[in-house]
Structure 1
Amino acid sequence: MMRLIAGIAGVICWINWIIGQVFSWLSLGIVLVCFTVVVQRYVFAISYVWMQDLYIWLSGAMFTAVAGFALMRDDHVRVDIFYRPATVRRRALVDLVGALIFLLPFTAVVYVYSMPFVQRAWSYTEGSANVGGMPGLYILKTFIIAFAALLALQGIAMICRSILIFGGRSDLVPRRIQYPVSANDAAAAAIEGSH
């Protein structure tokens, strides 16, 4: 059973890792498009609305798609005065409670409230509200659903990690979501080793 839980966490982390690797390249596209827009506007006195839409849309796509990847890497902002120095078991408890009480309900609310919004956009293949803007806004709005799904999946991986740790099988925790060892963990391991 523990190996199955570890396998589920591993697959979820692999999915978010791949998506993170692919979509992180959009940051280069965002910089290039933004630079081009600025040069066109201030050097050549020309402007294209679709290019302005493009770098905003690329930003939206990137930040929503890589949210699960960032959660996997623990890159989200966290007030961690107590979390970082805590033991692995305490961090696992915080993550378990946080995922069950906050993260998964949040992603469910985002999904439920955004689905009609996205479906409406797809129903008439919504484009930019700006004249001369980009078509395909309905595709960008679909990233809201992807955001909720990828965050929820990573929340499930966090729950799996917590279960593995509480079950005494931290050796099965996928490498991508292992906790760094804190000073408290090193001290606890030293005490256990001396007995």
Structure 2
Amino acid sequence: MLRGFALLVDALNEVTGRLVAWGVLAMVLMQLVVVAARYVFSTSDLFGIPSIWLQEGIVYLHGLTIMLGAAYALLYDQHVRVDIFRARTGRRAQDVVDLAGALLFILPLCALIAWSAWPNLRMSWMTLEGSIEPDGLPFRYLLKTSILVFAVLIGLQAVSIAIKAGLRLAGLSDTPPFRPAP
């Protein structure tokens, strides 16, 4: 049952990561449109879309790609870490480090992020906060929601890592806590 939950979390972050990867392509295309509108067509609007929407959309997509793609990076053990002890030890010691890291560092940090973000996020939703630009995108509150989603996805992935490391330590599974990089 625990292993099934861990695999479900892994699948969720796999799908989320693959979806937000398309955000990078969208950012490139949107930036191309902004540059073409400004320097080729000498206009700030293109096809009736204000360029500020495209410019803010690029920033929003950039933030969403990072916030929602972070758990995907954690799934594949692609985060930067100071790996002083783990790299030089055996599998069992690595599992202890992964279990402790998930439970003692990642989960409390996710809780702190969620707790710290909540008041601002709540106010943003209550006022349906929009852009500070007069013609900007009207849904900044959705972007701020990604902070909470980030904390949840990273927290879930930390639970998955802890489960897989714990099962390996108990001799109940041979599944590594992280997937090999694609």
Same fold (TM > 0.5): yes
Question: What are the ranges of 5 or more consecutive residues in structure 1 without an aligned counterpart?
Answer: 181-195
Higher relative contact order (CA 8 A, sep 6+): 1
> Residue 12 of structure 1: which of 9, 12, 15 is its match?
9
Structure 1 position 104, deviation (Å): 0.6
Pairing 1:84–2:87 present: yes
In 1, Cα distance between the equivalents of 2:35 and 2:96?
48
Q: CA deviation at 1:85?
A: 4.3
Tell me by how many angstroms 1:37 deviates: 1.3
Deviation per residue, 1:35-57 (Å, 9 max, x gap): 21122222233332111100000
Cα distance between partner residues in 2 of 1:130 and 1:23 = 26
Deviation at 1:178, TM superposition (A): 4.8
1:88–1:179 CA contact under 8 A, matched in 2: no
Aligned position for 2:168: 165
Number of aligned positions between the proteins: 175
- Give 1:27's aligned residue: 24
User: What 5-or-longer segments of structure 2 have no aligned partner?
Assistant: 45-50
The answer to whether 1:62 aligns with 2:59 is no
Indicate the RMSD between aligned Cα atoms, in angstroms: 1.9
Distance 1:126 1:145 in 2: 16
Displacement of 1:79: 3.1
Query: For the Cα contact (< 8 Å) 1:126–1:137, is it kept in 2?
Result: yes
Q: 1:54 to 1:140 in 2, by over 3 A?
A: same
Distance 1:97 1:82 in 2: 13
Number of the residue aligned with 1:191: none
How far has the Cα of 1:93 moved from its partner? 1.2
Corresponding residue number in structure 2 for 1:177:
178
Distance in 2, Cα, partners of 1:159 & 1:107: 14
Letter in 1 for 2:35: V
- Displacement of 1:81 in angstroms is 5.2
Does the CA-based 8 Å contact 2:76-2:179 persist in structure 1?
A: no
SS at match of 1:25: helix
TM-score scaled by structure 1? 0.83
1:1-195 equivalences in 2 (<5 Å): 4-47=1-44, 48-80=51-83, 82-171=85-174, 173=175, 177-178=178-179
Contact 1:49 1:131 in 2 (8 A): no
Report if the CA contact (8 A) 1:70-1:76 is conserved: yes
- 1:16 counterpart letter in structure 2: N
Residues 115-169 of structure 1 deviation map (CA, whole Å, 9 limit, x = unaligned): 1111111111111111211111111111111000000000001110111111112
- Tell me, in whole angstroms, the C-alpha distance in 1 between the residues paired with 2:134 and 2:179: 49
Cα deviation, 1:52-90, whole Å, max 9, x if unaligned, reads 100000111111111111100111112335433432212
